Structure 1
């Protein structure tokens, strides 16, 4: 699911764990001793550290990246010859060993590495600089693979780490840094590349911009206009109280209090539409506005459409064109997944994204609550899950907290490494979502991706055993005698629940029971729990005595059979609570061998169990796996990495944030997705031997889900940047019918139709949707793409992904500001031309640069 990384080992003392288990997270953090300085030696706070990609190296033996740290001692005291370690996290790992700098580079666990002095290291005097050359085991294109979160620990105080805050990555701009050899990796995107890509769309007159996004099923414009000079008189039954409140919020407070047109809300039959989310909306100059929904959700979505039809905030006249709309979603499942486990995000951030989901008619919030690097939900009866599993930071001994990950550093008070939702928080989130007709689907990752739980339950076991508790192993998740050899994509070898232990199922039952209780207390229905299932490493369980004993008892031949046993038990637990089982695609898959290679096939055992499989992998020969699962009888949610993983970078440029293990995803990559026929985009060679959806399989596709994993996302503003505006294209594909270009068999006609559709979509974004967010001060720092630039004789041409957006330029090499000259045509100046686009509030986007001699 997330080919990226995670981390390893938890640290701390069992004595301290006793304190942590009796205290909330804030007290647990306060109990950690403050970092102190070793007398006579340099402080980590006074070291400066730079990291540089020097070049990628290509040879017959493979590809590796040559890199270096540049460490400078800015203190008046020396960094000694011995007795210290410099820790850091690094996605996808580094090559360990003794370095030419006379330091030793070694893996601590997972993505946590450290540098320590070799016996002949001489120390680092005040003012001295040390170059530390080393290698990464693969090519580096994105800075996601660069080290993060460095901190210094002295052996004399091994439980205390001091963050190196003066740490930077040096730019990746030189030709040798950008060289990708014959690897086939995509080249950097130039301003000219961007200019040519932007020519797919042109600026539309305001009257031709599509008025509603996502596109309604039927829209028939009228000829008149309803002018609103006073607040509408809202007519709604008591059962639509929340919807009536939303309706009132759509109109500015400055309108006269009375005398406005009628705005009628009702639940009733929407002719010809069976979906409970269907609605009809009519605007008439003489009779006002009427919204009828097949349910309250339909009325809610009708109001969101009305919001779209209103003029932008600040318009001279508040009026709505006459219109008749009948609308219903294409898919009943229109989802967004937010990972809060790898990096924690507050409930206020969750509320913000629930608001955005509701506005664009997304209705499923997949809440990724647990991972290797964090357990983020308070569970009654298992305080260790949050006292240990929700806290990251440095410690010298096992059992207190998880190790630093994703740059969270040594401090357990780091707000992204540490944190969880209390029961009250979670209930508040459930109710907030339900008020917006959004279903929350909690995810409990297992049997892989479970290190936080494994470590927390192991610490619980040791604590209780030392206290003489005979029930200490009740929730234990790992077999201490397991000698299985495996490594996850995130570099772990100790992060898997063991199905050979009955205590694993006791743990699952307790957690499921408590999640069910939380939903019951919130008064919010729970239909399913996403039970993980992805990326169990090859080799897991194979040398576990507990697993083998279970296999012998049940007469299971392979660990693939043990997998089936595990999910049979999990499904039974969920069914006992009236739930169906959801999980990643592997949950519905069977591991087998084909020509000596591991292969996943639809698992015939669970096709009649009502599993819902979320299919992420559409790469490397698995392009049709989603369709094969649906054809085999599984309900599926399409979440393909090459289209829906919003943690993927927009392009290969090093300064563009995000990851690239699956794809680069521009806005048009999402827009071009054809859910029921995405193999149509593949080359002829890649379609050979691939299965299309059968008519039966099409009925098993529940819908679409956009996904944001947060390995590289510590700042909530980074969520804004990566998710918006790509989430708007997800909403369009999930709600609207297939566009004309997707079903046109003639390639030339399809291309022309696609250009028309794309032009309408980006004009809607640039002229209506994004400006509305700006003017409402919705606090969404969406990505403003860099302009396209091209030399054309003696002038510079500029365009933008969002036609009509304000662009400004400079010619002296400085970055444009909100007062720089407007781009109103070709730029005629000479020099270093820099151009940027600006939103309605003057926020600048990414800058493009071109030299005109």
Structure 2
């Protein structure tokens, strides 16, 4: 499908995309976009009004604060959104149009008379979906005049404070408001433990045998390790603060050797003895690194008056060989320093697979030698009137191609540095190249290359072309695109795939960490794609293929052959291992028998209603799988439906205990018995196919590192607990009462360790991690206010006059007997405050 002028955006005069003088409006005698104020807000449903199911009434309020008028025609106000919006809606004399994907615009209708200085207009409409979270509000608005079509000027923009979920009061709705009382009773499922009873290590080790004494840390240790363990020795050395004497500390020995009873290369044994010092033995360097991270957990918190370590012996090994975290840098870009930070945190929690989501519709983030357009076009978002220069704005990135989250990529040198950094921490980098859907950045970049070379007379112009220019297929992707698909009917598509795979494999070899697998996408190919493509239809006739599902198989047969050619195994989302079919007229995914012998690794995210057992069906059919269910392991999901929470909610809400309670080998353990009827369970054969688990962070709503911090931590600690620690007793105990007691004990240990030891250490070590501080729970009890927190041991402070608590406010030391509007918040060791909860005590 060819580029359409409104959907691809072109080179402005100047570097910023905002430098055309006429963009200010002053030279045209019209309003300067920078002096327009735009406000977006939800509208409360009028009493007794019946609105269509799922709709959300909302409005834009535009105020002209300039001395010049906004004319009655000749301009467009662009903005981006995550949700579908009612294209064609009219209000206030304006018309709402979809440009492409999530890019929309308001344009003057025939009756619009203009907006004089000081005037305000309202554009009222109804969102197609239920929207009550600020992260799902429209973003990045800018004004473009027809007379200066390449110049977009950002508006002053505010989103009104959202005060309530759409489903407030609907008991049992997943979108119901979560009150301070709800939070209190949820938090009450854990007990506050004395410091002596807090588990000393997370994730929980297999065996911990305490000793009777303590090893005093009179100075920094004398570390002995072979040269091959230089990285691990440096890590161990970094655990001991500079405030300790330079010498006089205990011996610390690092040794590769057999850990009895454990075949895993990541197994280790840690021994701390008052008489003999510290010994860490691992089946490999990776095992030793994990032992050093356990030693970090055992170290006294910074500032301890008389630092010492407990005597003990720990023997440990992981439950799963695959313990992953996926970071999406395509939707919103994050630089290599942010990647380094998360690799360090992964290593702390003994995670070992970094799934690097490098490409998608909205960005291509890796430099590929020989294909510069992938980054000069595919890695840049911003406004333009001409096709083929850069990608359109998305996820609030606005008109400026210098926007740090909309534009950016890793150079070849950057990428190799990331791979080396990960390898030094025993983390495997698994790059993902999304295809055949979710590929708009690549498709547009390669079409631009084609047009450039063709106009220059090149005979090789179509060598890497990814789309059939005569394709008239009709489809809409999950992100609302109709031009984001690589075409399997073009030989140039396979030439492109091989070029990218070869270059990525070369980067890993040059970094000293050869790839074992590469993730080749496969996610969410829209229905209808390819069906009216002459190239695809010709390929189907040539190879005797009857349906687009057969063409899918053909495509991935060839992709897999390319991956195997470079000595790797193909990984991808579950659709690689599944086949679309229909049952009773409804779409259904079933295991695809074609690829069971190819060794595909399927990452299974879809456990939505109707597909709860898909992962198990694939494993039982012979596919190796990585469990990454959306309802448990998508860290871009908001914690709950309260408007102050950040994230998306299309799949679930994911609280800390939602992650912790995940039972990988019994994914429907918490479901009602009726919901389990007819669902497949894992066979013994299938259990052997479960490689491990992974959490995903798609970055649509995460434009800055602090937002990543908030969404990932401390949920990453719960991921680690499920991925590393042995199956907890409460998942295998048949007696419900006993299982509940075991769960309460284990959950109490986990949250106390986080609140009293893990997060305070991150604070005191100055990691700069803006992790989520949850709001406290509050209830009234006989005239007193009871307060608690999901992480017992977090400092709670309160006021009684309705003001927000500060670090100087009174600490909560028990029931609060004062009267008034009681407001409570939690604070970390850096005096950073979490959300405030309120309750009135009379």
- Above 0.5 in TM-score? yes
Which of 300, 321, 345 aligns to 2:289? It is 300
Alignment check: 8 A CA contact 1:643 1:673 kept: yes
Deviation, structure 1 residue 820: 1.0
In the other structure, the counterpart of 2:663 is 674
TM-aligned CA deviation for residue 748 of structure 1: 1.1
Q: Which of 632, 654, 658 is residue 621 of structure 2 equivalent to?
A: 632
Q: State yes or no: 1:765 paired with 2:763.
A: no
Out of 7, 10, 16, the residue aligned to residue 9 of structure 1 is 7
Q: Which residue of 1 aligns with 2:481?
A: 492
Partner of 2:73: 82
> 2-side partners of 1:183 and 1:270: how far apart?
49
Q: Please tell me whether the aligned partners of residues 170 and 176 of structure 2 are also in contact (alpha carbons under 8 angstroms).
A: no
Q: Which residue of 1 aligns with 2:777?
A: 788
Matched, 1:168 2:166: no
**Structure 1 residues 180 and 771 mapped into 2: Cα distance closer, same or farther (>3 Å)?**
same
Whole-Å Cα distance in 2 between the matches of residues 174 and 580 of structure 1? 48
Deviation string for 1:36-82 (max 9, x for gaps)?
Answer: 31221111111111111114698696331111011111111111111
Q: Is contact 1:55–1:178 with CA below 8 Å preserved after alignment? A: no
Residues 353-401 of structure 1: CA distance to partner in whole angstroms, max 9, x if unpaired?
A: 0000001100000000000000000000100000000000000010100
The whole-number CA distance in structure 1 between the counterparts of 2:797 and 2:68 is 49
- The alignment status of 1:104 with 2:98, answered yes or no, reads no
1:830, 1:481 → 2: CA distance?
73
| In 1: Cα distance, 2:783 partner to 2:227 partner | 67
The 2-side partners of 1:335 and 1:490 are apart by: 25
Is 1:279 aligned with 2:279? no
**How far apart are the structure 2 equivalents of 1:236 and 1:99?**
72
2:717 to 722, 725, 728: 728
Q: Paired residues, what number?
A: 834
- Kindly indicate whether the alpha-carbon contact (under 8 Å) linking 2:8 and 2:385 is maintained by their aligned counterparts in 1: no
Please name the residue that 1:321 is paired with: 310
Indicate conservation of the 8 Å contact 2:330/2:357, yes or no: yes
**Out of 366, 375, 381, which is 2:370 matched to?**
381
Query: Could you tell me how far apart the structure 2 residues matched to 1:157 and 1:784 are?
Result: 46
Structure 1 segment 557-572 matched on structure 2, within 5 A: 557-572=546-561
Contact (CA 8 Å) 1:98, 1:118: kept in 2 or not?
no
Matched-pair contact (CA < 8 Å) for 2:133–2:162: no
Match in the other structure for 1:715: 704
Sort the Cα spacing of 1:443 and 1:606 in 2 relative to 1 into closer, same or farther, 3 A.
Answer: same
Give the CA deviation at 1:595: 1.1
When structure 1 is superposed on structure 2, of 823-832 and 205-214 the one drifting more is 823-832
User: Given that residues 656 and 718 in structure 2 are in contact (C-alpha distance below 8 angstroms), is that contact kept between their aligned partners in structure 1?
Assistant: yes
Q: Secondary structure, in 3 states, of the residue corresponding to 1:681?
A: coil
User: What is the CA–CA distance in structure 2 between the aligned matches of 1:501 and 1:595, rounded to whole Å?
Assistant: 34
Residue number in structure 2 paired with 1:125:
116
- Distance between the aligned counterparts of 1:349 and 1:793, measured in 2? 49
The match for 2:23 is: 36
What CA distance in whole angstroms lies between the structure 1 residues aligned with 2:585 and 2:434?
29
Question: What is the 5 A alignment of 1:566-585?
Answer: 566-585=555-574
- Find 2:146's aligned residue among 136, 143, 155: 155
CA deviation vs aligned residue, 1:793-830 (integer Å, no higher than 9, x gap): 32211111111211111122221111111111222222
Residue number among 317, 342, 362 corresponding to 1:353 in the alignment: 342
User: 1:813-832 to 2 correspondence within 5 Å?
Assistant: 813-832=802-821
Q: Structure 1 pair 30/134, CA: closer, same or farther in 2 (3 Å)?
A: closer
Cα distance change, pair 8–555 in 1 and its aligned pair in 2 (3 A): farther
Partner Cα separation in structure 2 for residue 34 and residue 361 of structure 1: 54
**Structure 1 residues 375, 34: closer, same or farther in 2, change over 3 A?**
farther
Partner of 1:71: 62
Change (3 A) 1:379 1:780: same
Deviates more, 1:594-603 or 1:322-331: 594-603
Task: Deviation per CA, 1:260-313: give whole Å up to 9, x if none.
Answer: 211000001100000000000101110101000000000000000011111101
Q: Give, in whole Å, the separation in 2 of the partners of 1:434 and 1:445.
A: 23
> Shift of the alpha carbon at 1:30?
8.3
Q: Shift of the alpha carbon at 1:528? A: 0.8
| Equivalent residue runs for 1:526-541 within 5 Å | 526-541=515-530
Contact 1:56–1:180 at 8 Å: present in 2 too?
Answer: no
Aligned partners of 1:185 and 1:351: how far apart in 2?
A: 35
1:763-802, CA deviations, whole angstroms, 9 ceiling, x for partnerless residues?
0001110000000011111100001011123221111111
1:232 to 2:230 alignment: no
Equivalent residues in 2 for 1:420-569, closer than 5 Å: 420-569=409-558
2:132 aligns to what? 141
Distance 1:560 1:35 in 2: 51
Query: Is contact 2:783–2:817 with CA below 8 Å preserved after alignment?
Result: yes
Secondary structure of the structure 1 residue equivalent to 2:636:
coil
Q: Distance in 2 between matches of 1:241 and 1:186?
A: 51
SS at match of 1:281: strand
| Structure 1 residue 214: Cα displacement | 0.3
| Partner secondary structure for residue 248 of structure 1 | helix
Inter-partner Cα distance in structure 1 for 2:314 and 2:797: 39
Of 26, 32, 36, 1:47 maps to: 36
2-structure distance, mates of 1:182, 1:764: 33
TM-score with structure 2 setting the length: 0.97
CA shift, 1:186, in A, is 2.9
Match of 2:235 among 246, 268, 272: 246
| Map 1:197-236 → 2, pairs under 5 A | 197-236=186-225
Please give the secondary structure, in 2, of the residue aligned with 1:11: coil
In 2 relative to 1, CA 98–656 (structure 1 residues): closer, same or farther, beyond 3 Å?
closer
In structure 2, how many angstroms separate the alpha carbons of the residues matched to 1:193 and 1:630? Answer: 38
CA distance in structure 2 between the aligned counterparts of 1:132 and 1:265, rounded to whole angstroms: 67
Q: Is the 8 A contact 1:201 1:759 kept in 2?
A: yes
> Secondary structure of 2:810's match?
coil
Specify which of 311, 315, 326 is matched with residue 337 of structure 1. Answer: 326
Alpha-carbon offset, residue 8 of structure 1: 9.2
Which of 627, 637, 647 is residue 636 of structure 2 equivalent to? 647
Whole-angstrom CA distance in 1 between matches of 2:611 and 2:250: 55
Q: Map of 1:802-841 to 2, 5 A cutoff?
A: 802-841=791-830
Distance 1:730 1:225 in 2: 31
2:645 to 650, 656, 660: 656
CA separation in 2, counterparts of 1:481 and 1:100? 37
Task: State how far apart, in whole Å, the 1-side matches of 2:164 and 2:683 are.
Answer: 50
What per-residue deviation string (whole Å, max 9, x for no partner) do you get for residues 491-534 of structure 1? 01100000000000000011111101111111112111100001
Aligned partner of 1:589 among 563, 575, 578: 578
- Whether the aligned pair in 1 keeps the contact of 2:100 and 2:481 (CA below 8 Å) is yes
Which of these residues, 666, 682, 688, is aligned with residue 693 of structure 1? Answer: 682
Give 1:178 shift: 5.6
Q: By how many angstroms is 1:11 displaced?
A: 1.2
Task: Assess if the C-alpha contact under 8 Å between 1:232 and 1:260 holds in 2.
Answer: yes
Native 8 Å contact 2:84 2:129 kept in 1: no
Hey, what's the Cα distance between the residues in 2 that align with 1:170 and 1:534?
A: 35
Using the alignment, how far apart are the partners of 1:183 and 1:398 within structure 2? Answer: 48
Contact 1:475 1:504 in 2 (8 A): yes
Using the size of structure 1 for normalisation, the TM-score is 0.96
Q: Which shows bigger deviation, 817-826 or 440-449?
A: 817-826
- Report which stretch shifted further, 50-59 or 271-280: 50-59
Alignment pair present for 1:398 and 2:396? no
Shift of 1:34: 7.4
CA distance in 2 between partners of 1:223 and 1:400 (Å):
69
Aligned to 1:63, the other structure's residue is in SS state: coil
